[in-house]
Copies of this chain bind each other. A is one copy, B any other.
Amino acid sequence: MSPSNPSQIRKTPRQRRSAETVEAILTAAAHILEKEGFDAATTNHVAVKAGVSIGSLYQYFPNKESLVRALNDRHTREILELLRKRFVEVRKAPMEDSVKAIVRAMVEVHRVNPALHRVLVNIVPSIGGLAETRVVEDSATNLLSQFLKARAAELRPLNPDLSAFMLVHAVEALTHAAVLEHPELLKGDVFVNEASLMILGYLRGSAEASKHPPPRAAKK
């Protein structure tokens, strides 16, 4: 397969008809993963739900894993695009507004299809997609690290890579938990405010004890 095809699509569709077939397969797979979970997403089931034959599915996806990875690739690409966009947009906004905008973006992204997202996050590493997941995490960490460097003057002394690592994982987990366990927090700005308090508290130092020396750990 071509090296520029991380999800290992077997055949590149040449006619509109086949492009629609691929789309139907991916959509059906997403629906099943979301509503019934990974175990229910058998290749036969996906094919039936997509309204195509099992043979067609295997024309485009060499195996079940590649199908799930294709979905994951699309999903993570969307997330990264939105994040990049937001980081550019807030480049000159006040610190607090920037942080809130980015948290909002995270929520926005995770609310599109939380169940699917969770399934993908859980399953992808075990089907050879660990590398892809790391790429996404690293990209997000880099975006945030750049942001922290640009805003250093407004923050306590810190190691941008380390802080970005901490925040990426904390915010990702918080967003997951909020979307899946306490969606009511997302109605108003409760969640965005709390997450921002945490982020800003971490980046600025706490009110009473803000006399910590900068950490000396170098990442990577």
A residues at B contact (CB < 8 Å): 37-39, 94, 96, 122, 126, 154, 156, 162-163, 165-166, 169-170, 172-174, 176-177, 182, 185, 188-190, 193-195, 197-198, 200-210, 212, 214-215, 217-220
Contact = CB atoms under 8 A, between A and B. Distances in A.
A73 to B, nearest CB: 20
Contacts of A198: 166, 170, 198, 201-202
A206 B39 CA distance: 45
Secondary structure type dominating chain A contacts: helix
A177 B214 CA distance: 22
B220 A209 contact: no
Given A205-B197, A209-B204, A215-B194, A165 B177 contact: yes
A202 B209 CA distance: 12
Contacts of A174: 166, 169-170, 173
B220 A189 contact: yes
A110 to B, nearest CB: 13
A38 B127 CA distance: 11
Contacts of A165: 177, 182
Contacts of A205: 197, 201, 206-207
Contacts of A94: 215
